[in-house]
Structures are given as structure tokens and as C-alpha cells.
Amino acid sequence: MPRTDAGHRTAAHTADLRVQAWAPTREECVAHAVAAVVESVVGAGPPPATTTVERDLEGATDADLLAAVIDEAVYLMETRGLLPTATEARATPTGLRVRFAMADVDAVVPVGAVPKAVSLHQLRCERGPEGWWCAVTVDV
């Protein structure tokens, strides 16, 4: 039976964060993975968005797309001081068009370590009989 639920969970370690997400579609699964990374930094309930950022991201595989989206979110946090408060993804012929609703990083008090990069070790984004599942390790 196809999956109808969606969600995510994290497991923090000394130098990294392991994220797992699941959803009926690949796009929702990737968005939940981003939400898990953000929640690891600011806790539940990020601040209201003040702007949006759209990106077209490419990847040879679904796992590559997952890494590209999280890398972009980390890049925006580090270089522009913007925190994704919500993520929407749509399939394109070459990857994903991602729309991040963003808030100013300075508007939050961090509760966890700020992510630095996506590890390619044990990176997964797969479709199964019940829906999509992904897992990623983020260096913090």
C-alpha cells in the first residue's frame, strides 16, 4: 500500500547529524529532510519567513539531488544568513526546482550546531513499495 504519511527524524552525534525522512513523493521526502536539518539548529517552529529563494538543482541520481538541496540550504545559511523555514520542491527534466521560504538567521537562537556540509557516506534517497525514504549525514 502506498505511503500517505510524511515525516522525519534525526540522531545527533559528536560531529554530525543523521537525518531520515519519508513521504509519498520524492519531492516531499527531500523537503522533510531539509526541515529536519533546520529543526536541528532552531528546534521546532522556525520564525516566519521574510523572503523566498528559488533554485534549479541538478543531480545524476535521487541521492545526488537530496545532497544538492541540503547543500544549497547550508550554503544559504552560511553565506546569506538565511534559514529555510519551509521547502517546496518540483521535478524538472534535469532535477528539482526548489523554493525555500527564508528567515533571517539572526532572528533565531540556535539550539544545535549549525550544519557545515553533506557527507556522501550512506547517502540514500529511494522509492520503495510504500513511498520514498531518504537518509543523509550532515557534518556539523
DSSP class of residue 130 equals T
Domains defined for the chain, CATH in brackets:
7-139 (3.55.10.10)
DSSP letter for each residue of 2-14 = -----EEEEEE-S
| Dihedral of the alpha carbons of 79, 12, 123, 129, in degrees to the nearest 10 | -120
Residue identified by cell 513521504 is 23
The pLDDT tens digits of the residues spanning 125-137 come to 999 999 999 999 9
Question: Could you give the residue ranges of the DSSP H alpha helices within 23-112?
Answer: 26-42, 62-80
The pLDDT tens digits of the residues spanning 83-140 come to 999 999 999 999 999 999 999 988 888 888 889 999 999 999 999 999 999 999 999 8
**CA atoms of 72 and 60, how far apart (whole Å):** 16
